[in-house]
């Protein structure tokens, strides 16, 4: 099978999709083309192209049946080299000529995305955000205070399932109102108990749940939200220049995480309507989800890795909003050092204040 590589009609160099302008751009001659123009040129070239095949049927004894089932081989449409990818890769770069290679055949009927949110954060800005992250953070381990280099940066479209549903909820709360008053030498406290009931319906639209097993859920959820209003219809051209995987976690396996998020959001929304009480605690909660549907989509994430010693640390940046998260821990020795210093500073300041008050005769 062959990959798709979109070439510049002017100079023949590979084209990449620029999300901000929603055009295909050439890094060689700096020309830009609409998606419709690139599609038409590709169609004409495909009709005019000749057909030649020179293949050898070789058996790789080192490749196990399990590995063979999880890998796919493609021919680069630019240089003809063989690309070997896993079964979920749908966009990559040729390891030999560097051309963007799109593998639309990797999508299944269920996982082909309906929409895609384009990148609006360019690579240079993502690299600057990585560099700026370390500035002023005194509690970072010492090895992160100098020489923070990017080991690898990937422009990755991550598959998500978008959940739409309607949540009907009935929630009952135990609530109290506490009033304190004083009469002479006595302080009286009066506690009133209430049973508060709330019922209503919330509509959830485009609730994202990560559909890739290759990326930890804590990373993907911590860089939300994505503005789905800026999504465009998916087409293979929109993947040019980026990496992308198709969903390998079925929507059915993501339902529980979607339910948890719907439940938390519904409980928070209803709780915010119960005001004017000293204490409030849920007594009974009942939530029913109706009209639930899922839609596959691709969302933009910059993945940056940096190596320190024998460990690799990951930075993830929302390719649309710039929200950033990472897995770098803080330094416990530095934390306790600063905590001790702050305690000593406060204690010393208090001691000096007492001396000053004693000197002025305020205290003896």
User: What's the average model confidence in pLDDT over 152-159?
Assistant: 92
Between 69 and 284, the more confident residue is 284
Of the ranges 51-65, 202-216, 229-243, which one carries the lowest mean pLDDT score? 51-65
Does the structure show a pLDDT above 80 at 37? yes
Does the structure show a pLDDT above 80 at 59? no
Confidence bin at 67 (pLDDT 50/70/90): very low
Map residue 178 onto helix, strand or coil. Answer: strand
The pLDDT score that the predictor gives to residue 262 is 93
Alpha-carbon separation of residue 53 from 56, 109, 307 (angstroms): 10, 29, 43
Comparing CA positions, the residue from 115, 221, 110, 207 lying closest to residue 166 is 207
In this prediction the pTM is 0.74
pLDDT in tens, 159-211: 999 999 999 999 999 999 999 988 888 888 999 999 999 999 999 999 999 99
What's the angle, vertex CA 103, arms to CA 154 and CA 322, rounded to 5?
30
The pLDDT score that the predictor gives to residue 358 is 55
Average pLDDT, the chain: 81
Confidence bin at 51 (pLDDT 50/70/90): low
Instruction: Write out the two tokens for 84.
Output: 């070997």
The pLDDT score that the predictor gives to residue 57 is 47
Does the structure show a pLDDT above 70 at 144? no
CB 111 within 8 A of CB 246: yes
The pLDDT score that the predictor gives to residue 193 is 93
CB 314 within 8 A of CB 327: yes
What percent of the chain is predicted at pLDDT more than 90? Answer: 39
What percent of the chain is predicted at pLDDT more than 70? Answer: 78
What gap in Å lies between CA 300 and CA 119, rounded to an integer?
A: 6
What gap in Å lies between CA 134 and CA 137, rounded to an integer?
A: 6
pLDDT in tens, 91-126: 887 777 777 778 777 788 888 999 999 999 999 999
37: enclosing H helix or E strand: helix 35-48
Confidence bin at 152 (pLDDT 50/70/90): confident
Q: Are strands 232-233 and 115-116 parallel, antiparallel or unpaired?
A: antiparallel
């Amino acid at each position: 099978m062959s990959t798709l590589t979109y070439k510049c009609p002017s100079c023949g160099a590979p084209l990449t999709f620029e999300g901000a302008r929603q055009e295909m751009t050439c890094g060689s001659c700096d020309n830009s083309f609409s998606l419709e123009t690139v599609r038409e040129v590709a169609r004409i070239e495909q009709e005019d192209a000749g057909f030649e095949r020179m293949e050898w049927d070789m058996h790789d004894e080192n490749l196990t049946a399990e590995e063979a089932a999880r890998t796919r081989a493609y021919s680069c449409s630019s240089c003809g080299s063989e690309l070997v990818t896993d079964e979920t890769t749908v966009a990559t770069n040729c390891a030999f000529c560097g051309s963007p290679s799109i593998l639309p055949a990797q999508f299944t009927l269920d996982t082909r995305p309906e929409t895609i949110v384009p990148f609006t954060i360019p690579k240079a800005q993502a690299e600057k955000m990585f560099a700026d992250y370390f500035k002023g953070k005194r509690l970072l381990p010492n090895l992160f205070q100098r020489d923070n280099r990017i080991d690898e940066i990937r422009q990755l479209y991550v598959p998500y399932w978008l959940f739409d549903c309607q949540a009907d909820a009935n929630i009952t709360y135990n609530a109290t109102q506490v009033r304190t008053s004083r009469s002479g030498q006595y302080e009286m406290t009066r506690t009133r108990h209430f049973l508060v009931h709330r019922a209503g319906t919330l509509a959830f639209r485009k609730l994202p749940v990560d559909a890739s097993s290759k990326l930890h859920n804590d990373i993907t959820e911590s860089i939300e939200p994505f503005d789905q209003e800026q999504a465009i219809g998916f087409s293979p051209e929109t993947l040019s220049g980026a990496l992308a995987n198709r969903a390998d976690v079925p929507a059915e396996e993501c339902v529980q995480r979607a339910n948890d998020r719907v439940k938390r959001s519904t409980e928070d929304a209803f709780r915010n309507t119960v005001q004017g009480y000293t204490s409030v605690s849920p007594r009974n909660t009942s939530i029913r989800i109706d009209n639930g549907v899922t839609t596959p989509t691709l969302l933009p994430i910059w993945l940056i890795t940096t190596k320190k010693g024998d460990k690799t640390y990951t930075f993830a940046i929302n390719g649309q909003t710039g929200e950033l998260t990472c897995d770098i821990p803080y330094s416990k020795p530095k934390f306790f050092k600063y905590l001790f210093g702050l305690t000593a500073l406060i204690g010393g300041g208090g001691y000096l204040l007492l001396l000053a008050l004693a000197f002025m005769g305020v205290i003896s």
